Structure formats: structure tokens, C-alpha cells
């Protein structure tokens, strides 16, 4: 049981001594992206050949979290205690595209003889790595996420101890307010303001909930945080519970993330055993318990009121706000919902101070943001960058630009609720307001790059199909509107639509955006609206030349025949 | 506590805690509704009663909007009328609404809405979904083709009768009403055959057996009784006139 600073120090020291006895540590990525590329086999190959070479006392194999450059996985980093002469005095060497054969070579040459396999080495000066600023991903790739000792050795749970022993709950709330942290789930609501609302709510029971129901196509920021550093989320939530007076918390994770669920459950068990969850946390008069709740496959459950309904065991569909969850949430009690990435920022803010956090980012948006780079880029994967970086820096510098001979066309941010930003606006510095101004949103951090081969109508159609399939069906505009919009986009993409259809599509976008009940419906037209704003000509090029037909207005005879 | 508010440039007084819809109905200001029913919980899902609130970019449903001092709303702007008309058109397009063969013809809230909004044709493509008719109950029938998913039956059954026979299954365009665990209505053991769901259905989706085209009469007095009995603690039906 951890009760004091010295208990944390003892674990930390033991852990450091333990790792110091190894000459090399082989950090094998054990995150979902690399696992699907064969990382498990790589780790087994390392273990087998280390055993064969008799290097076991000198080399430790550590399964770690995501190192970011997922497109070139599986990634393996070799960390050496002593600077490696042959590699220019470096202590860390990062290998890309490792397979079991290469693992054996690395073992024979690098681990046994200290000679790096240069052909497969990635330079840490690569802008993809060099321009990152890792706060929430600080431990990803550095620790074994299934060991609480690793987290503690990297300064974990110090923030919780600091908050519990030196700060009042109100001081914690104030410090989060001062930090300027905003919700990382997409909306960008000031986190401190939400905490204050729950802090001030008068109720017998209060809840904090972490939203890990990430569902945007191509986005996996939250999954990575949950898989690679589960204790950081638990620590953030526990601090939140202390600040707001909540006794119970839920981590809502989608069922499609089995690795994240398993690691979070392991982490909760470990934290309980160490007295970091449960009654009398850190021997203080403060208790908090935490449970994982698994979603049932509905995208709409990322919407906070639908998420709460799902936790209660009801049909996952949104309800009207107000009352807001901080007034009446889970089982009618005040409840605060933050995204897991938001919670992952908390411990750093407490430890390093609100001023440190404020120093990163832009005037309105502080701190860093994790983005999942995807699409037609040379380097794709996960990056954490300070807010205020330009879109062009991410695309051309960090992402390495589009393939040779192709032209960059647009960047899609914010997933199905976001929009497409054309090349001309890439010098925009990223923050919540600037992206909104361009007709897109920050969203949870999806970042899809498109080149001149991509049809913007198809992109809009893809996202509309997604929204149609994920609509819960409660309110009419979203339920029926997405169906009609998808059919019109389909018609346009097949060059069967008239200008009349386009006008109808725009009417529907306007109506669905303004009349839908929840965020899913209100933002579903965004991909269409933003592509219409910047790439209208592409739609017009697909129009049939014939003038709108009168018959089309009254009855769709084609559909009648099918019915 | 009485408060002042303004609806369509008209200064009015109301009680704090009342919804805008209650005030508008009392003052005779027309506001279309479909999912709303006095006495049931508020679903806010049909989006027909949306109003423009001064100082807010978001439209608010009148059925859930609590009036506050100084509230100023517009209930019938051109924009709202356009949206409402589209909503009604979309309702017609998504189901199989054929008035000519419907028990509720001439006695149907969806039909009334279409007339009010001046819907003379549907601009959106009909979906012609394949939906089922459940005639397994000895007294009533359920024709999903005519269902508008207002969930009044779900709420009346749960909140007034306490049986919770009805529920919603599926999502998006496949969302549909089920009885018990998607059993035929006739074998739904929770059903008490109280007919409240039939009374509250705004269209002809739920009907009493033995009626033919345009023969079903929704009785507003019955619905009023269902809604007000608990509030007034009076469980005796008033004499029907």
C-alpha cells in the first residue's frame, strides 16, 4: 500500500535499479497498430534469440506502447545503458519495419556486438519525431503499460499525492481553470468550468466519467492513450474526483477496443492493490472507485447523454439538454464527462503547474493535441503537437508530404462531424476557433490527407453513409435526413443528378444541421457543406446537362418499381 | 412567480417553470407537435415545435423549453416554416403512408400536419421500406408501415399503464417499435390490453380490430383523461358527451 511520498520513491528506485542492471533494453511496440503488423511475433523472436545467444542477464525485452510512426511498424527501440560507440554515441536506436528475421539480426549484431543495423534505423531527427511535444503520450513507448511500477518510476501518481496532500479541492479546480485546458473530445468546452460546475453541485452522490468511445473513422488517439498509459487516465480521474467530490467513476470504452479494456482493468486492479483507488486513497480521508463499462457498438454513445444512458443499461440514445449532465446525469446525480485525452493532461498540469501548460499553444487553445495522421501521406501514425502548429507543418514536414507526382488537395479534420480544408488554407495555425472558422472542427483528432486522385463528392458520401448508419433514429431530421442526403450524394457521384437535386441536398443540409437533437445530426452535414464551400465545381462537373425534370418532383417511379 | 416573456412580438405573462408550449397553447399561438403529449415525459424528437430564441443560435423545442424572465421567441418565421414542412415531407417519405387505405384517414395527426403546412407533394424520394403488420393481438393491430416513431405508445405504456410492453429496437432508418422482446404482440405477456397505446397513436399504426378505412376515431377525451387523471387524482372518466 502506498501511503506517502517515500513509498512512491521506494517503488521508483527499485524499478530504476532493476532496469539499470541491463546493458540493453529492447522496447517492442505492443499497441494495436503494431500488433496487427506482427509485433507479437517480433517480440517472441527477440526473446528466443536473446536466450539462444545467452544474453538474458544483459538484455531485457519490454512490451511498450505506441511510438507513433505506425505506417512503418512494427517499431522496436533499443535503449542502451552506455553510449553506443558505433552509432555515434547514442543511447537509443529506433528500428522500423521489424520482422522476426530482422529481430534475430539485431540481436546478433546490435545486442551482442554493439553494432546497429543501420539500414533499418530511423533517425530521431526526423521531423515526425522531432517536432512533437508529448504530454499525454509522454509514457507511450517508454513504459510497459501493464506494470504500475513502470508508471511510478516515470513520476506517476506524484500529482495525485501532491493534490491530495497540498491542495484543497477548490485549488485543484482553480488550477485546471487557469491552465486553459479545453475538452479534447471535440467540443473544446473549458475543462475547468465543467469541473467547477460539478464541484459546486450539491448532491449526495456525484460521478466522473471518462469518454473512451472513440469512433471516428481513421482515428485512434484515445485507444492509444488507454492502451499505452492507462494509469495516467486513472490518476487524472482520481484527481478530478477529489476536486469535484465524486465517489464513483466510470471508464466508458467501446467494445471494439479489447486491448484497451484489458489494460485498463489490469491498471485499476493494480491501483486498488496499491491503495490508489478504493477507500482511504494514499491514507487520506478520500475514497474513489472506478469501473470499466463497455459500449455495445454505437457511435452515438460518444455523445454524452447517450453515453450516460448506455452506462445505466438503457438504449444508447441522446436526450434533450438541459438539464446538463453536471446538473442531472447518471441516475439523476450530477455527473461530469471528460474525454480520456482530457484526463490524461491532468497529472502533468498539477505537477508542472497551470502556467507551464498555458505557455504551450495559442491564445484560445492551450496545450498539445494528439492527431492520427492518415491518408495520402508518406508518414502516417500518431503525433502529439503543440496547438498553434500550422496544418502545413503537420502535412509537409511531419507527415513527409504526399507521394511524389501527386498534389495535395485537402485535409479532412474532425471525422464525420468535421470538414475538408483545401490546400490554400494550410498555413492556418491549428486551434479550436481557426478550424471552426474554416468550416471544420478540431474534433477528437482525426487528420486525413487527400491528394488529387480523391473525389470530394466521394469523401462527403463516405461520411454521410457513416452518419446514416450510426444515426440512432430518435429524431426525424437525422434519421430520415441522412438517408435522403446519402441518396442524393450517391446520385451525384454517379452523374445522375440535376441541379435541382443539388439544391435539395443543400436544403436538407441546412435543415438537418439546425433541427437535429444531438451533435451527431447537427454536424452530419458538415462534410457536405465544407466540400460544397471549397470544391463546388466538383459537384457541378458531375451534374447531368438535362434540366430538372418535373416528374422527378412528384414521384420517383424507379423506386416504385423496386418497391 | 409570474414572469414576462415575448412570443412573436407579443408581450405575455406566464408562470416560471412552465414550458413555452404550455404558454403558447394557452395563449392560442399555434405550434405544431407530433411526439408531444400532455401527461407523458418529453421526448423532443419530432423537432416540429422548434422555435427561434433571441440571443441564441440554436433552435429550441418549445415542448422542453422552460420559460424564463425576458424570454423572447419567434414561433413562425419563414425559416421555421420551411424546416417544419421538410420534416413532414420526410416523415411521409420514410414510411409507407397511404391515406386511401388507412384506418385513420381523416382522423390523423400526420395528415393534419401536412394540410397545415401546405404539403401538396413530397420532394424527397420515397423509401418504401419493408415493414411488418402485427395482427396477433386479439383486439388490436399494429401496422409498422404507418408508424412515425413518435414513441407516444412506448411512453404511455411505460409511464401511465406501467406495463412497458413497447420499446424501440434497431437504429437509424431501421429503428422500429417492438412489443416485449420483439415477440408478436399477441404473445407479449406484459401487455394488459388496456388500449392506451391505441388511444395515443397519432396515426393509424395502432388500431382496434374491426375498423376499416377511415373508420377509426381517435377520441381526444380519452387522451385527455389519460394525461390528466394522475395529475388531478381523479380516476373516474368524465361523462362522455
- Could you tell me which residues of chain A have a Cβ less than 8 Å from any Cβ in chain B? 298, 300, 315, 319-320, 468-477, 479-484, 487, 504, 507-508, 511, 514-517, 553-556, 559-560, 562-563
Closest A-chain CA to B42: A320
Gap from A77 CA to chain B (nearest CA, Å)? 45
Closest B-chain CA to A479: B172
* Stretch among A73-77, A174-178, A381-385, B216-220 having the lowest mean pLDDT: B216-220
| Mean pLDDT of the region A430-450 | 92
Question: For strand B2-7 and strand B71-74, is the pairing parallel, antiparallel, or unpaired?
Answer: parallel
Q: Which residues of A touch B64 (CB under 8 A)?
A: 320
| Mean pLDDT of the region B99-123 | 94
A1, pLDDT greater than 90: no
Domain boundaries, chain A: 20-124, 155-358, 368-451, 456-549
From A477, A504, A515, residue closest to B123, measured CB to CB: A504
A552, pLDDT greater than 50: no
A246, pLDDT greater than 50: yes
> Which of A149, A157, A147, A152 lies closest to A276, judged by CA?
A157
- The answer to whether A479 contacts B149, with C-beta atoms less than 8 Å apart, is yes
> Which of B63, B4, B78, B5 lies closest to B32, judged by CA?
B63
A510 grid coordinates: 441546412
A329, pLDDT greater than 70: yes
CATH architecture of B3-76: Roll (3.10)
A456-549, CATH topology level: de novo design (two linked rop proteins) (1.20.1440)
Q: Which residues of A touch B123 (CB under 8 A)?
A: 504, 553
Domain boundaries, chain B: 3-76, 82-240
Is there a contact between B204 and B212 (Cβ–Cβ < 8 Å)? no
Q: Indicate if ipTM > 0.90.
A: yes
B interface mutation test: which of A313, A475, A505, A509 has the most B CBs within 10 A? A475
CATH 3.10.20.600 is right for the domain spanning A368-451: yes
| Mean pLDDT of the region B57-82 | 96
B82-240, CATH topology level: Alpha-Beta Plaits (3.30.70)
pLDDT of residue A404: 85
Beta bridge mates, A366: A361
Environment class of B138 (CB within 10 Å of its CB; exposed 0-12, middle 13-18, buried 19+): exposed
- The answer to whether B173 contacts A298, with C-beta atoms less than 8 Å apart, is no
A298 grid coordinates: 454505437
A352, pLDDT greater than 80: yes
Is there a contact between B71 and B22 (Cβ–Cβ < 8 Å)? no
pLDDT of residue A88: 59
A36, pLDDT greater than 60: yes
Residue B140 has φ and ψ, to the nearest 5°, of -125, 165
- Mean pLDDT estimate for chain B: 93
Q: Is A413 helix (H, G, I), strand (E, B) or coil?
A: strand
B237 to chain A, any CB pair closer than 8 A? The answer is no
- Residue A321 to residue B155: CA distance in whole angstroms: 19
A558, pLDDT greater than 70: no
pLDDT of residue A520: 93
Q: What is the pTM of this model?
A: 0.92
- The answer to whether B172 contacts A468, with C-beta atoms less than 8 Å apart, is yes
- Residue B94 to residue A233: CA distance in whole angstroms: 43
Q: Which residues contact A230 (CB under 8 A, 6 or more apart)?
A: A145, A260, A263, A264, A266, A267
- The answer to whether A556 contacts B50, with C-beta atoms less than 8 Å apart, is no
A556, pLDDT greater than 60: no
Is there a contact between A311 and A252 (Cβ–Cβ < 8 Å)? yes
- The answer to whether B87 contacts A477, with C-beta atoms less than 8 Å apart, is yes
Question: For strand A207-212 and strand A335-339, is the pairing parallel, antiparallel, or unpaired?
Answer: parallel
User: What is the dihedral sign for C-alpha B106, B110, B116, B121?
Assistant: negative
- The answer to whether A483 contacts B94, with C-beta atoms less than 8 Å apart, is yes
Distance of CA B88 to the CA centre of its chain: 12
Closest A-chain CA to B169: A315
Q: Is A10 helix (H, G, I), strand (E, B) or coil?
A: helix
Gap from B15 CA to chain A (nearest CA, Å)? 19
From B44, B61, B175, residue closest to A479, measured CB to CB: B175
- Residue B68 to residue B78: CA distance in whole angstroms: 25
- Residue A52 to residue A131: CA distance in whole angstroms: 39
- The answer to whether B125 contacts A514, with C-beta atoms less than 8 Å apart, is no
- pLDDT band of residue A118 (cuts 50, 70, 90) is confident
B145, pLDDT greater than 80: yes
- Residue A277 to residue A286: CA distance in whole angstroms: 9
Which 8-state DSSP code applies to residue A283? Answer: G
A548, pLDDT greater than 50: no
- The answer to whether A482 contacts B44, with C-beta atoms less than 8 Å apart, is no
A155-358, CATH topology level: Rossmann fold (3.40.50)
A86, pLDDT greater than 90: no
Is there a contact between A43 and A75 (Cβ–Cβ < 8 Å)? no
pLDDT of residue B238: 63
Q: Is A544 helix (H, G, I), strand (E, B) or coil?
A: coil
pLDDT of residue B226: 82
- Chain A neighbours among B 193-222 (CB < 8 Å)? none
CATH 3.40.30.10 is right for the domain spanning A20-124: yes
Which 8-state DSSP code applies to residue A396? Answer: I
- Encode pLDDT of B176-232 as tens digits: 999 999 999 999 999 999 999 999 999 999 999 988 888 888 777 888 888 788 788
- Residue A62 to residue A491: CA distance in whole angstroms: 53
* Stretch among A81-90, A181-190, A197-206, B193-202 having the lowest mean pLDDT: A81-90
A190, pLDDT greater than 90: yes
> Can you give chain B as a three-state secondary structure string?
CEEEEEECCEEEEEECCCEHHHHHHHCCCCCCCCCCCCCCCCCCCCCCCEEEECCCCCCEECCCCECCCCEEEECCCHHHHHHHHHHHHHHHHHCCCCHHHCCCCCCCHHHHHHHHHCCCCCCCCCCCCCCCEECCCCCEEEEHHHCCCCCHHHHHHHHHHCCCCEEEECCHHHCEEEECCCECHHHCCCCCCCCHHHHHCCCCCEEECCCCCCCCCCCHHHHHHHHHHHHHCCCCCCCCC
Amino acid at each position: 500500500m502506498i501511503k506517502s511520498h517515500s513509498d512512491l520513491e521506494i517503488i521508483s528506485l527499485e524499478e530504476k535499479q532493476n532496469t539499470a542492471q541491463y546493458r540493453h533494453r529492447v522496447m517492442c511496440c505492443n499497441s494495436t497498430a503494431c500488433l496487427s503488423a506482427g509485433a507479437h511475433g517480433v517480440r517472441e523472436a527477440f526473446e528466443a534469440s536473446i536466450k539462444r545467444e545467452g544474453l538474458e542477464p544483459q538484455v531485457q525485452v519490454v512490451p511498450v506502447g505506441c511510438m507513433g510512426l505506425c505506417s512503418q511498424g512494427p517499431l522496436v527501440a533499443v535503449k542502451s545503458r552506455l553510449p553506443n560507440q558505433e552509432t555515434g554515441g547514442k543511447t537509443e536506436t529506433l528500428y522500423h519495419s521489424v520482422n522476426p528475421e530482422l529481430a534475430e539480426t539485431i540481436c546478433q549484431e546490435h545486442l551482442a556486438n554493439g553494432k546497429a543495423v543501420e539500414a533499418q534505423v530511423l533517425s530521431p531527427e526526423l521531423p515526425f519525431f522531432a517536432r512533437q511535444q508529448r504530454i499525454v503520450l509522454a509514457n507511450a513507448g517508454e513504459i510497459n503499460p501493464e506494470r504500475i511500477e513502470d508508471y511510478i518510476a516515470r513520476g506517476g501518481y506524484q500529482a495525485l499525492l501532491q493534490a491530495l496532500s497540498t491542495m484543497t479541492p477548490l485549488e485543484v479546480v482553480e488550477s485546471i481553470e487557469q491552465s486553459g485546458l479545453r475538452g479534447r473530445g471535440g467540443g473544446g468546452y473549458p475543462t475547468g468550468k465543467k469541473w467547477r460546475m460539478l464541484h459546486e453541485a450539491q448532491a449526495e452522490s456525484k460521478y466522473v466519467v471518462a469518454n473512451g468511445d472513440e469512433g471516428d473513422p481513421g482515428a485512434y488517439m484515445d485507444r492509444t492513450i488507454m492502451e499505452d498509459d492507462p494509469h495516467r487516465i486513472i490518476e487524472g480521474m482520481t484527481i478530478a474526483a477529489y476536486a469535484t467530490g465524486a465517489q464513483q467513476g466510470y471508464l466508458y470504452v467501446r467494445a471494439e477496443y479489447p486491448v484497451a479494456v484489458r489494460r485498463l482493468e489490469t491498471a485499476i486492479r493494480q491501483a486498488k492493490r496499491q491503495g490508489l483507488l478504493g477507500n482511504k486513497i494514499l491514507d487520506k480521508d478520500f475514497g474513489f472507485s472506478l469501473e470499466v463499462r463497455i459500449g455495445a457498438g454505437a457511435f452515438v454513445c460518444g455523445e454524452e447523454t447517450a453515453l450516460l444512458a448506455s452506462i445505466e443499461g438503457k438504449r444508447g440514445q441522446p436526450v434533450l439538454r438541459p438539464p446538463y449532465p453536471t446538473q442531472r446525469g447518471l441516475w439523476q446525480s450530477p455527473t461530469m464527462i471528460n474525454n480520456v485525452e482530457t484526463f490524461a493532461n491532468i497529472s502533468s498540469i498539477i505537477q508542472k503547474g497551470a502556467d507551464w501548460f498555458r505557455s504551450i499553444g495559442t491564445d484560445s487553445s492551450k496545450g498539445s493535441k494528439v492527431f492520427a495522421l492518415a491518408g495520402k501521406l508518406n508518414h502516417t501514425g500518431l503525433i502529439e503537437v503543440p496547438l498553434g502548429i500550422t496544418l502545413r507543418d503537420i502535412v509537409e514536414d511531419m507527415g513527409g508530404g504526399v507521394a511524389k507526382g501527386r498534389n495535395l488537395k485537402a485535409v479532412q479534420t474532425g471525422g464525420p462531424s468535421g470538414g475538408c480544408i483545401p490546400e490554400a488554407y494550410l498555413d492556418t495555425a491549428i486551434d479550436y476557433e481557426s478550424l471552426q472558422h474554416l468550416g471544420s472542427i478540431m474534433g477528437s483528432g482525426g487528420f486525413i490527407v487527400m491528394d488529387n486522385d480523391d473525389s470530394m463528392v466521394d469523401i462527403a458520401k463516405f461520411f454521410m453513409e457513416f452518419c446514416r448508419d450510426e444515426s440512432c433514429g430518435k429524431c426525424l431530421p437525422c434519421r430520415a435526413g441522412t438517408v435522403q442526403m446519402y441518396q442524393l450524394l450517391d446520385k451525384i457521384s454517379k452523374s445522375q443528378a440535376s441541379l435541382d437535386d443539388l439544391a435539395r441536398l443543400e436544403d436538407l443540409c441546412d435543415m438537418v444541421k439546425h433541427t437535429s437533437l444531438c451533435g451527431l445530426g447537427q454536424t452530419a452535414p458538415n462534410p457536405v457543406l465544407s466540400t460544397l464551400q471549397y470544391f463546388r465545381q466538383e459537384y457541378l462537373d458531375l451534374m447531368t446537362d438535362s434540366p430538372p425534370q418535373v416528374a422527378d418532383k412528384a414521384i420517383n417511379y424507379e423506386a416504385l418499381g423496386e418497391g | 412567480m409570474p414572469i414576462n416573456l415575448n412570443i412573436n412580438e407579443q408581450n405575455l405573462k406566464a408562470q416560471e417553470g412552465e414550458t413555452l408550449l404550455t404558454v403558447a397553447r394557452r395563449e392560442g399561438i399555434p405550434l405544431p407537435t407530433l411526439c408531444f403529449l400532455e401527461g407523458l415525459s418529453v421526448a423532443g424528437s419530432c423537432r416540429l415545435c422548434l422555435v427561434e430564441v433571441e440571443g441564441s443560435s440554436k433552435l429550441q423545442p418549445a415542448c422542453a423549453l422552460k420559460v424564463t424572465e425576458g424570454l423572447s421567441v419567434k414561433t413562425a418565421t419563414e425559416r421555421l416554416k420551411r424546416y417544419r414542412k421538410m420534416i413532414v415531407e420526410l416523415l411521409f417519405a420514410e414510411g409507407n403512408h397511404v391515406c386511401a387505405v388507412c384506418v385513420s384517414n381523416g382522423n390523423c395527426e400526420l395528415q393534419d400536419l401536412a394540410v397545415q403546412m401546405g404539403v401538396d407533394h413530397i420532394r424527397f424520394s420515397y423509401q418504401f421500406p419493408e415493414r411488418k403488420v402485427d395482427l396477433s393481438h386479439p383486439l388490436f393491430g399494429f401496422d409498422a408501415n404507418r408508424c412515425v416513431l413518435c414513441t407516444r405508445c412506448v411512453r404511455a405504456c411505460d409511464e401511465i399503464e406501467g406495463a412497458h410492453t413497447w420499446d424501440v429496437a434497431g437504429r437509424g432508418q431501421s429503428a422500429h417499435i417492438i412489443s416485449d422482446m420483439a415477440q408478436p404482440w399477441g404473445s407479449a405477456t406484459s401487455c394488459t390490453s388496456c388500449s392506451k397505446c391505441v388511444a395515443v397513436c397519432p396515426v393509424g399504426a395502432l388500431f382496434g380490430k374491426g375498423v376499416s378505412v377511415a373508420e377509426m376515431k381517435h377520441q381526444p377525451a380519452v387522451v385527455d383523461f389519460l394525461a390528466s387523471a394522475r395529475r388531478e387524482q381523479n380516476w373516474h372518466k368524465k361523462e362522455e358527451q
